[in-house]
Structure 1
Amino acid sequence: MKIHKLIIATILGSLGIFSSSFAQSPSNGKAVGLRTSNFNNLDLTFSLIKNDNKALRFRAGGFNYNYTIDNQNSTGGLRLAVGFQRFKVINEKFSFHHGFEPAINFSFLAANGIQNSNTSLRLGYMIGFNYAICPNFNLYVETIPALYINNTYINSTPSNSFTSFGINANSQLLGIGATYNF
């Protein structure tokens, strides 16, 4: 009788350890993923996950280049960010993440003989929730409000440049994503 109780306790204990480590914050390793904001852009993410509920997330997006043959206009852009994530376990399926994310954005436009370039530096703070579907696959929702400084240069006659700064904290900052841990 004692052996049956010991076996049952061992099985239940093993299941408890598995389920609690299964969906909490990501475990040691790496993760790749996709993230979208407002369903109009797509970012690639790559994370280096540490076992102390921290991760270093690299995010690249806004890759685009368009060229119109008819009027010889071209546009393009690129966004790069590095996030310093911390995870807090809510329960076996959910976790909360937060942390700073500095970013840089580049974009340009060449149309009708006028060239315009834009560079933006941002210091954002990501706030989000993760849901573990299975041990290696997570869905998340997050927002990244940010302080920014933006410089626009217009190459015209005469050339013109202006700088702006402010806080970007609107509903279009809501992002959803999925990651695969390996």
Structure 2
Amino acid sequence: MKKKLTYIFSSAALVAIAGVAATALFVWLPGGHLREEVEVIDATGSTGTYQNGTFYLEVEEGCYSIDAAASQSIPVSDVNKIKSFFEVDCAQPHHLEVIYTGDVDPSQGSTAKSEDVGAVCYTAYEQIYGKLPPTKLGDTNSLYLAWFFADPGSEFDKYQNRAVCAVTKPDATGKNYTIINRNVA
């Protein structure tokens, strides 16, 4: 079944329309900021609209898909480029379960570093699961820990030391986030 994905961007960015197989392609246009919705139209004319892609530093605890329909694995390297996550019911397929959001106190200076955010996320993971997350790749049955914080510049000006901690399920190589099909937190 072929699907046509329509990404609607701000007026300063581009509008892209791509015909793709259901699991074939993830489209990312650098500089595009998702405004309000992603429309998914299949060849039979059925339409599903995914409203309210949420800016990644504004998410709350819950489940999120990176590609609106959670139809495929996503390369880990692409996730750092993605600025919108799509909230989904935790019983539905998803890529991330956010387990903590909030501000992080920097250990030195006024800017939290990855190590500061990581320490907060490790603590949140341990409180929920009763153990530390795995650190070696290859265990496809375990949930791994990922964290996000503001990029330098305008994101940092607005969100400063905000952190988002999430659990993910990478493949055996650790290069792709796979689909989570159940509520895990």
Q: TM-score range by the shorter chain?
A: under 0.3
Calculate the TM-score normalised by the size of structure 2: 0.22
Structure of larger gyration radius: 1
Instruction: Give the structure-1-normalised TM-score.
Output: 0.22
Q: Going by fraction, where is strand more abundant, 1 or 2?
A: 1
